[in-house]
A and B are shown apart, each in its own frame.
Chain A
Amino acid sequence: MSTASQQTKPLLELKGLEKRFDLDKGFLETVKLRGGRLTRERRSVHAVNNVSLNVDRGEALCIVGESGCGKSTVARLVAGLLSPTGGEIHYDGDRIDDRSRAAMMPLRKKMQMIFQNPYASLNPRMTIQQALEEPVRHHNPQMNRGEVRDKVAEVMRSVGVDPSWSSRYPHEFSGGQRQRIAIARALTVDPEFIIADEPISALDVSIQAQVLNLMLEAKDERGLTYFFITHDLSVVEHFGTRVAVLYLGTLCELADTRTLFENPKHPYTKALLSAVPKLKDEGPSHIRLQGEIPTPINLPQGCPFQTRCAFANARCRESRPRPLLQTDGSTVACHAVEEGRLDG
């Protein structure tokens, strides 16, 4: 919790968020033969486990982690595209995870999502004009045609796409331009909260810079709050105000961006930061982790990171560490950090 959240109400609050996906579809798949007897067994993917965090207004909270850590699932839960198995999501003080589709509608105008792949997120059979007009019409039925057109043209200009191209189809644009159009579509309804799931991962370096600049501009001009999902730590350092590190659906560390990069505490955060190849590096110099990420189907008991952690002991293998507030304001879930075992 940052100091700001004590003064003002957070825009988004996740309380003990859980999401499990059942692997067995239907009754028959759950029936297994064990030791000569029929038993019922349910297997499920534990995608998100007891994640609690707040996002304040005007923040850019980054969620980082490797593939399979549940970062996209968290984004989809927040956007209401999936419903949680447990826990609560509060937006602007109101609980939203138990709302019906109709009750979610007014919120969708405030909350927009940008996806990773601009080749998949734009309908290939709709012109840019149609794709951009649709959300405006849907959320503002009182607007007349002229107003809708003006709104679309204004947003297109603000993302650097020439409004005279509006009758073209998505395939006529490059990846970077498509992502601008996807951002434009999110901005047409004047949202206050943007959920961006790896918005620049599919783009080239020089185009990444263009799109990141655009998102920073939109943040300043429109006072947007971002929930930014990425695996790229250099982008986090540049873009994020706070960072949440996920591992196997569990929150490892949550801290201000500067604190996290200057003084990472969780052994996984340290390994992750050291693994990023840097420009001035001469040869690899990373912390070697043992093994690879276990599957989220059968989560290890205790700390989810213990199978790869060099500091794991009996306690780590038995009980799951709780996120604890540190003196510098960061939150870390690690027995070794709690006991001060890492410093020795």
Chain B
Amino acid sequence: MASPKVAVLVFPGTNSEVETWRICRDVGLDSDVVHWSRAQTLPDYDAYVLPGGFAYEDRIRAGAVPAHDPMMDYVIEAAQGGKLVLGICNGAQIVLEAGLVPGTGPVRKPTAAFTKNGPVPHFVCKHVYLKLAVDPGRCAITAALERDAVIPAWAAHGEGRLAATTDHLQEIVDGGHLAFVYAHADGTVDERATPNASALFCAGLTNKAGNVLAIMPHPERDAWNFNHPRRREGTDILAPSGGVKLFSAFAKALKS
């Protein structure tokens, strides 16, 4: 069987495509960086990763313009067909604006947003932990993680606070869309572990089918020993307890 191919999408203003491509490569995925001018090649891929950055300079709202980019026509069609889609940081904002997660409304009619941080609307750059908040099998990308898995990552965003109406937040809870919450290293969840006052302590959302995952923090920035806070963990270049856990699970999902 041919190795699954992953497209790491680049919109004008994306800036995390290289480390995202590298971590996909280092967990054994055949991945390419695909720029917006090559959108027509996207149907050739088996999965899509939308990395961080400031696509279209966050004009109008973070994720609003790229959600309507021709690249997203392919990604939305692929997601509806069951292919895996992972959005990280700005990629998560795009996935939300495209209506793929939580997916409780029509496509490109968002019912939630990752918006300005609270309580003070400042950019946050902080080491954080993500705790899996659903049954691992609820989302295909997390299926290989253990229950209540805690994954280290770096939050680096000015607009990462989940916001929605009370009804839509309830839909997120009832529908099992809350994939990851912010936590302490020991897995306890509270306001102090949440760097941006995100509703429900939300760090990541999935859709009804569980093939799309949007996470605000960057696990790829805590994946190798050179950027993992506990440096020199083992002899491998990858830090086994780092953010690589999520990408290993992503690779397993693609190869299973």
Mutual binders A and B: no
